[in-house]
A and B are shown apart, each in its own frame.
Chain A
Amino acid sequence: MQIKDLEINPDKQDQDDPELRALLKDYPMPEATAGFFDQALVRATHEGSRRQRNRWIMTGFGSAVAAGLVLWMIAGSLLTTPDLPVAEPAIPNITMTLEEPRTINLVFASAEPLDAATLTVLLPEGVEMSGFPGQREITWQTSLNTGKNLLPLKLIATSPMGGEVYATLRHDDRRRTFRLRVDVS
């Protein structure tokens, strides 16, 4: 069957390979965990209400530059007005030089002290963290003070592919994920 035919006659789409379509129609899918939908609903409404109470305030990545000059920025901001809409932050971007270490400053702001928060960093293929060669997922526990908290991460690009770095901070049932796009020159 020619693709051109399909565009002229969409009905042909449903005559294409009935044996294969029968197999695909039978392709199974597991049920969600019992009670999952109810729990997800509760978590979603809890999360929304909590945001409004300003009890969980986070920011995003900052980026560092060479020559000791630190130009970090905060992708989010400390929310002090309950009804402020939550904007979608743009994804910060940095350009790294192949095989040249570079420090990325991760900046978090919290409205309250957070003990035993878990931070997970996911690295794209070809980007490594100093001290963790070959690891693309690094998790550790940390504590946050009220206000801004700075965590420097030394990264090195081992291939020119680049990609996105994800950092997820979890505390109790709360979670925030931030992204940083890395280009390699």
Chain B
Amino acid sequence: MSVLFSLRDTVVQFNGTDILRHISFELPESQLVAIVGPNGAGKSTLLSLMAGLRLQYKGRCAYRALEVSRWPRRAFAREVSFVPQTFHLEFPFSAEQVVLMGRTPYGNGLFETLEDREAVQKAMLTTDTLAFRSRDFRSLSAGEKQRVILASVLAQSPRVLLLDEPTTFLDLEHQVVVYGLLRRLCREGLLVVSVTHDLNLAGAYADRVVMLRSGEVVADADPEAVLTVENIREVFSVEVEINKTQDGRLWIVYGN
């Protein structure tokens, strides 16, 4: 498996304070990585760093052996896609127009090509959003919005999906559907990195969990090794009980 992201001693500062300190890890293709940690641990910063949205950093943060800051932006956007945490739209774009924006890195023309339209169709089919393609994006429910945004990054045909809490506003069914979809994309070879607060989702779906605290990686391994009673107490200051379901998935109960 080829390595996509390679971070070594990466430091990100904001107004002189370290937000991320000496992060080092490698992320290969075909993996679903969950980033967990308490508020202010630097999860979103780490994600936006990898998304190429923060070009001022120290140390190494390479994508396919080339520093993220040196990638041509359009070429990078064809490789790496990013789903932000919040999303507010002021103007009347249809759901389909929002998805079509994902095709920007592929063409120079004023209009989308046939290939663009096919990619959009496929992405909207995958995310179950075709039913409201011409509705005003602002009129959709929070969960529908999130799926449309997911469709938009899928239309970007990326090799990497970076998601900042993709299931925050989703109902149970769509949480399971989205994570099932992310798993499937992984099997097709994508690297999926998702910030989440839901340790159960991380435990159930991720191949690997990276736990952050105060800008540092505390643990980085498979879910069972990272999501332990001790680690969670140490990092989140919460007592938990960890069980296993019959098919061997982690099941974490919060509080005592």
Decide whether A and B assemble into one complex. no
| Residues on B facing A (Cβ under 8 Å) | none
